[in-house]
Amino acid sequence: MVKYLSSEWLDEVRAAMDADRTLAVETAETELVLQQVVTGAPNGDVAYFITFDNGTVHVQSGVASQSDVAFTQDYKTALEVHLGTLNALMAFQEGRISIKGDVTALTANQAAIGALDQAFRAVKNQTTY
């Protein structure tokens, strides 16, 4: 078991992304960097980013030197979205997630971003909170 948002959790997410052939197909023509910042996590704020590079998707700890879109949310919101008890769009509409950057990139790459769900779901059963 891995702790949610830990470096080990990111390693598991990375492995799930690497193993997901559908993700590679869905992102074959996608170039995008998404930054995630989670505030107030049990061990402090957490930042990671996801890079889509024409069929290769990689997650990495830290702050990207340049991102297309950046999301910031508190730990409770991030946890609820991860567990599937809160829809990310609803959380945004309620002001629980802030978004900066090229918001049109989210719409243009909706299928590629949606393809990430399988990798995150694969890790959920191995995660403690």
Count of CB atoms situated within 10 Å of the CB of 6? 17
> Quick one: pLDDT at residue 40?
98
Question: Residue-wise pLDDT tens for the chain (129 aa)?
Answer: 999 999 999 999 999 999 999 999 999 999 999 999 999 999 999 999 999 999 999 999 999 999 999 999 999 999 999 999 999 999 999 999 999 999 999 999 999 999 999 999 999 999 999
Give the pTM. Answer: 0.93
Q: Smallest Cα–Cα separation from 84: which of 50, 32, 129, 39?
A: 129
Count of CB atoms situated within 10 Å of the CB of 96? 18
Query: CA-to-CA distance for 115 and 84, rounded, in angstroms?
Result: 15
Helices and strands (H and E) in the chain: how many:
7, 7
> Quick one: pLDDT at residue 74?
98
CATH level 2 (architecture), domain 2-121:
2-Layer Sandwich (3.30)
> Quick one: pLDDT at residue 35?
98
